[in-house]
Structure 1
Amino acid sequence: MLPRITLLLFVFLTFHSNSHAQQVENAAKHLGAGVAIGAVGGYAAHKIFNGQRGWTWAGAVGSSLAAGLAKETYDINRGAQWETEDVLFTTLGGVISGLALDLLLKNRRRGRSRKNCGCPPIVFESLDVDPVNASGSITAAIQANDILSNGL
């Protein structure tokens, strides 16, 4: 059933776009603007809400939807007609950018789990103190290792 619906949608869009060549160019502009605005909104939401996936999608789709509605409201105030298709294409651009952000930012989330603290490694062989009978303070062990390795 799904391939039939896809084929029907493809045929409809092909005939619709051939009959209105000017509208295809306008739709491409709205789609591109929706991708750009959705990418900025989605990335901002990703940073603000600490990488939560739902908020990234909400930022991408919501910002492009808001931009499409604002543009059509602006056009009405200038005497043009409301075009719902323009809002839909702008929002579709936000969906595309949400998908792209989801794929791109997912790989970054995996690599952040193991961060190096930047601490110098402790080498107990260079210390003259038995680590079992020492004070048990890791700070003292790090300082002692640093002093012995730097020769201070």
Structure 2
Amino acid sequence: MKFIVLFFAFIISVHLHAQDPGDAAKHIGAGVVVGIAGGYAAHKISNGQKGWKWAGAVGSSLAVGLAKEGIYDQSKGYEWETKDVLYTTLGGVLAGMAIHILTDNTRRRNGGGKNCGCLVAQIEHTNEIQLPKFVENGTGDITSELQAAYLLR
């Protein structure tokens, strides 16, 4: 996974000089926003299956990038730019990684599993409160009755 991220970062840094850096950043940002929406929707629909999260994030950002270049830019008379589609899709890949990291660590947060690396205290809740019996010739003070019952236990 780290290799993929470094590979994409290298490719972007090499080809960033060919395009306005602000334009590339806008496409990556749009891809991240759309990818998070698509990936999270796919995560909820598929009950957390990893493949569908990635497909939702990358697929939605790819679809938006293609639609932007194919429909919006062509109607304005602009040229097709494959780099814009790639940058938008890269934003979807980044969104997929974010969703993967943020939704898959619930086992570690909850302390479940064998390899969580955390200490989990198990508390037994078997101690029930035993209230004292009412004594006819007692003091009538509930505080002293509770203290006496606690000490005699």
AA in 2 matched with 1:103: I
| Aligned match of 1:87 | 85
| Aligned match of 1:43 | 40
Report 1:99-138 matches (<5 A).
99-108=97-106, 111=110
Equivalent residues, number: 109
| Aligned match of 1:142 | none
Specify whether residues 19 and 35 from structure 1 end up closer, same or farther in structure 2 by C-alpha distance, changes over 3 A only.
closer
Structure 1 gaps, min length 5? 114-120, 127-152
Distance in structure 1 (CA, Å) of the matches to 2:31 and 2:90: 7
TM, length-normalised to structure 2: 0.61
TM, length-normalised to structure 1: 0.61
Distance in structure 1 (CA, Å) of the matches to 2:18 and 2:52: 39
| Aligned match of 1:67 | 64
| Aligned match of 2:23 | 26
Distance in structure 2 (CA, Å) of the matches to 1:123 and 1:91: 57
Distance in structure 1 (CA, Å) of the matches to 2:34 and 2:111: 27
Compute the RMSD of aligned alpha carbons: 2.9
Specify whether residues 50 and 88 from structure 1 end up closer, same or farther in structure 2 by C-alpha distance, changes over 3 A only.
same
- Aligned residues with identical type, % of pairs: 55
| Aligned match of 1:17 | 16
Q: Which runs of 4+ in 1 moved over 2 A?
A: 16-20, 108-113, 121-124
| 1:109 CA displacement | 5.1
Distance in structure 2 (CA, Å) of the matches to 1:63 and 1:112: 33
Return the structure number with greater helix share.
Answer: 1
